[in-house]
Structure 1
Amino acid sequence: MRRIGIMGGTFDPIHIGHLIAAEAARDSLGLDEVWFIPTYHPPLKDNQPGVSSELRLQMVQEALGGNPCFKALDIELQRGGMSYSIETVLELKKRHPDAAFSYIIGSDRINDLPKWHRIEELAELITFIGLEREGIPVQLNQLPDNLRQRVTMAAMPAIGISSTDIRSRVQSGRSIEYLVPDTVHQFIKRRGLYES
């Protein structure tokens, strides 16, 4: 059975931290692949993505380059509306019955697990790979037993990069060199993304 990690997020824009997190999870837990799935409308975020779903998907595709272990999927963008993980996992399991799926999530999402839509059902279908984000301690002991048992922590280098900071840097004319893959940097410059 193939072991697939799912990286969901707005990827507005995708950055080096996302790629390092995906590789850390893949390497630590022996995943065969990591699938990056941009959300259409994230349920636990108040603000909407800054650029269109098409541009965010293109940036993800640019970032993944030729890595045979990484793949971009537009499943949530095609579905539209609120991007609930349970709907995505049910669809993926239908399309790929030979795969075992794990969501790769940071500290903030681990701590939010009880708030996820239909989390009890989701936790029966998949596992979670937790990565501690700098400045956001994981509170596994605060989770209900059934959720805590479904989370496996993976080691990740401490990297304080965020999409919010990258957007702010572009808007104020500061460099984002090395914070995003060069292909994404060039894409943002060519399209004039996040400048205002």
Structure 2
Amino acid sequence: MRIAVLGGAFDPIHNGHLQIAKQAVKQLRIDEVWFMPSAATPLKQEQAASFQDRAAMISLAIAPYRHMKLCTLEQELEGVSYTIRTVKTLFQRYPQHSFCWLIGDDQALQFDRWKSSDELKQLLPFYVFTRDEQDISLPDGLHRVHMQLLAVSSSEIRQGQKLYQVPDRVRDYMGAHGLYLERMVRQRMSEKRFLHSQSVAALCVQLARAHQLDCRVAYLMGITHDVCKQLPYAQAEAWMRSHMPNSLQEAPAIWHGYIGADYINKVFHIHDRRILQAVYHHVKGRNRTDYDRILFIADKLDPSRGYDSSREIAISMRSLKEGYRIVKEQQEAYLKKEGSCKKIRSLYMEELVRIVQKAVDEKKESVRCCMIFVN
């Protein structure tokens, strides 16, 4: 068979990779495309996801396509994933097949830096997939294949951009395992808010561990709970009006919990109901599950807030229900006090407006009298 190898980090795989594989089968008359995830790429920084996770995502992405296979050869080869070594190993293991190698234009521009690049060009053909409108200069010996490449990169995906270019099965895997989640969350809030989210997630994990609960669930709900906290008011109102109109009358300060749960479900593909319910109720609190209690406690007692919450944290480590009760009482006392302060401020503002308006009216009357006198 004629095999095309598509190598790379695939961190993560996206529709652009699948498009290249489809075009290779169509234009180069390839029998199969083997996706070859690298164990350690020489010219790239360390991968964000593990080899196991990247291989699993490839398997999910290519499952519908009978001409696409996963090859984990580079995991078996120790050390850095040099293509020259991989190619020679393929020739030894599969002498019945003929091979070619598929690369993108970014890889082609670095090809002369590859180990034994001249020897590689003698061993097998390299096909470079470039956009139709591009005419970049390729190193000698590489063959160009024009196509309409999708404008997407794995680095964009890791930042939470263009997630629609990731197959749903892969997005579900990313959401279930929390892959790239901190990067995605960080892009959607200020540094101060992100540090708070990290601190809440850490406390959630501590509480979960103390009560023999799922630390992964605890971390995911902690790191994502404020993902929509800084959503502009107009966008937040539009989201509430479109998706949760029955809760629109509640205070806008509460909305980010409702929107956040909906957002991480639809955008981050986090579908675990324990996480979604905890995020949804974390502002007002809900004393129904241990995960509800953990997130409510951790958000209110976050050590990064700058006040001493060690006593309440210690109590929560022993009993989530008792910790929740104490924190809820503190919240209600604060809101009651804050409500009284707001009422006083409101009365003060009303009186101030009355005084100002009286002064304006008196000035108007004085001016009117002067005009009468002059006339």
TM-score above 0.5, yes or no: yes
Count of residues in Structure 1 that have an aligned counterpart in Structure 2: 182
Structure 1 residue 162 corresponds to structure 2 residue 148: no
- 1:91 equivalent among 65, 79, 89: 89
1:176 maps to what in 2?
A: 163
2:177 maps to what in 1?
A: 191
What stretches of structure 1 move > 2 A for 4+ residues in a row? Answer: 133-138
The aligned amino acid for 2:81 is S
2:128 maps to what in 1?
A: 130
Assess if the C-alpha contact under 8 Å between 2:19 and 2:149 holds in 1.
no
The aligned amino acid for 1:195 is L
| TM-score for both structures, normalised by structure 2 | 0.47
Assess if the C-alpha contact under 8 Å between 1:108 and 1:136 holds in 2.
no
Identical aligned pairs, as a percentage? 34
Task: Give the CA deviation at 1:152.
Answer: 2.1
Q: Which has the higher strand share?
A: 1
CA distance in 2, matches of 1:133, 1:44: 23
- 1:52 equivalent among 44, 50, 53: 50
1:74 maps to what in 2?
A: 72
Please list, as runs of the form range in 1=range in 2, the aligned pairs for 1:35-50 lying within 5 A after superposition.
35-45=34-44, 47-50=45-48
Structure 1 residue 105 corresponds to structure 2 residue 92: no
CA distance in 1, matches of 2:122, 2:162: 43
Assess if the C-alpha contact under 8 Å between 2:156 and 2:162 holds in 1.
no
Task: Give the CA deviation at 1:133.
Answer: 4.9
Assess if the C-alpha contact under 8 Å between 1:106 and 1:133 holds in 2.
no
| TM-score for both structures, normalised by structure 1 | 0.87
Task: Give the CA deviation at 1:67.
Answer: 1.4
Structure 1 residue 27 corresponds to structure 2 residue 30: no
The aligned amino acid for 2:23 is A
- Gapped runs of 5+ residues in structure 2? 183-375
Task: Give the CA deviation at 1:97.
Answer: 0.9
Assess if the C-alpha contact under 8 Å between 2:127 and 2:143 holds in 1.
yes
Deviations 1:89-111 (A, max 9, x none): 11111111122211101111112
Pairwise CA RMSD of aligned residues? 1.7
The aligned amino acid for 1:52 is S
The aligned amino acid for 2:180 is Y
CA distance in 1, matches of 2:169, 2:68: 16
Larger Rg: 2
Task: Give the CA deviation at 1:14.
Answer: 0.2
The aligned amino acid for 1:164 is S
- Gapped runs of 5+ residues in structure 1? none
Counterparts in 2 of 1:175 and 1:17: CA distance versus 1, 3 Å:
closer
